[in-house]
Amino acid sequence: MNLEEYQRMYEAEERQWWYAGMRALSLALLAEPLAALARRGPLLILDAGCGTGNNLRHLARHGRALGVDLSLEAVAFCRSRGVAAARAELSALPFPDGRFDCVTSLDVIYHRWVRDDAAAVREMARVLRPGGLMLLRVPALRALWGAHDEAVHSRHRYRRGEVRRLLEGAGLQVVRATYANTVLLPLVAARRGLDRLTGRHGSDVGFLPRPLEWAFRNVLETEARVVKRLSLPLGTSVFALARKPG
């Protein structure tokens, strides 16, 4: 992504409805499995493709959290946020086999610079210890392709079955696979259709009027409570939680 997009992310990640809601969904899926792992000792967590680093602050509640990102600009934003991050490619992580208790990759492998998503998932699985967890999050449904995808240099939008096959192909056992941002799917689909009709360019990162921010964030936080127990049938994102055998 370009520097302006990273700046928008840095300013929006903690409070903007989509970032806050996606974080709530991610942590809802991870909370109980990470708590179970933590009974064995302190956890080491890798956020692969950490962006500007806000997720690292929240993951650090569960253990020591490290991030890697290909972008020097992203790593610089992480350091200004006070979280640990280094520059590295997903296809060549600078860590030994079985180093981490948990690896997260949150809206990363869909980017154009990830030329082989299967190889990236295999590499993340390599640095995961036996019994460790991987959480993968990607944008869903090709029909939702729009101006935002172009702005953030997207390569692909996924279906749930594709994500499951990626994880299983890396030797992982899928624990949960669910769509999310289900309730707002009709609004997102309408926005994408309008983008195509009007030729709008640019990303969707930014703040809405306060009542909409509150309402949309609450919708996603409600979904986060639901996905702790149930998988959702359709949505704008796919989440998959997997475990490394052993």
**CA distance to 1, 80, 168, 185, 208, per residue, from 211 (Å):** 29, 31, 41, 19, 8
- Distance CA(103)–CA(126), nearest Å, equals 10
Read off the pLDDT of each residue in 46-61 and give the average, rounded to a whole number. Answer: 95
Task: Tally helices (H) and strands (E) across the chain.
Answer: 9, 7
202 pLDDT above the threshold of 70: no
- Distance CA(51)–CA(104), nearest Å, equals 12
- Distance CA(108)–CA(90), nearest Å, equals 9
Please write the tens of the pLDDT for every residue from 131-166.
999 999 999 999 888 877 777 788 899 999 999 999
Please write the tens of the pLDDT for every residue from 161-173.
999 999 999 999 9
Judging by DSSP bridges, how do beta strands 64-69 and 85-87 pair with one another? parallel
Read off the pLDDT of each residue in 59-86 and give the average, rounded to a whole number. Answer: 94
Please write the tens of the pLDDT for every residue from 219-243.
999 999 999 999 999 999 999 999 9
β-pair partners for 243: 133, 173
| 64 or 6: which leads in pLDDT | 64
Residue 90's nearest CA partner among 129, 53, 50 is: 50
246 pLDDT above the threshold of 90: no
Read off the pLDDT of each residue in 44-50 and give the average, rounded to a whole number. Answer: 97
Please write the tens of the pLDDT for every residue from 109-119.
999 889 899 99
Question: How many other C-beta atoms lie within 10 A of the C-beta of residue 27?
Answer: 17
Read off the pLDDT of each residue in 89-115 and give the average, rounded to a whole number. Answer: 95
Question: What is 129-156 written as a DSSP string?
Answer: EEEEEEEEEEEB-GGG--HHHHHTTB--
Confidence of residue 204 (pLDDT cuts 50, 70, 90): low
3-243 folds as: Rossmann fold (3.40.50)
